[in-house]
Amino acid sequence: MPALYLEEHAAKSIPDLIKFLSSLNSAASGSITGALEESHRQAIQCLIEEKLTAIHINALNQRNDSISNLKSSTTKLTKIGWFLTGLITLVSVLIPLYLTILSPFKRD
């Protein structure tokens, strides 16, 4: 059985690692070759799990970033909404006031 260099396999994709894992022959248990084969299988399984964990963590981080961006956008939109509500209220009060009291063309 040739030596297993994990550095070579660490750069491989998950499907490639699964193919490699399935290509490993199951030797008779209880023999040195069988123990070595099983250790290689476990090492490759660990690499696969490590890669899947990294993918999962990256997905969670992206989700958290998206939630933060959404929260920030919602806060900005809420502030803009309140500003526009205040502006419309102010204008709806000032226009009739201008037309009735402060108009330069008021009727005598």
The 10s digit of each residue's pLDDT in 59-94 is: 999 999 999 999 999 999 999 999 999 999 999 998
Q: Determine the average pLDDT of the residues in 21-26.
A: 77
pLDDT band at 101 (very low <50, low <70, confident <90, very high): confident
Burial of 44 (0-12, 13-18, 19+ CB in 10 A): buried
CA R_g for the chain? 34
d(C-alpha 52, C-alpha 10), whole Å: 12
Q: Determine the average pLDDT of the residues in 7-11.
A: 83
Higher-pLDDT residue of 37, 51: 51
Amino acid identity of residue 73, one-letter, is S
Average pLDDT, the chain: 86
What does the pLDDT read at residue 20? 86
The number of beta carbons lying within 10 Å of the beta carbon of residue 10 is 11
- 47 touches 6 (CB < 8 A): yes
The number of beta carbons lying within 10 Å of the beta carbon of residue 37 is 19
- Tokens encoding 80: 């803009």
What does the pLDDT read at residue 49? 95
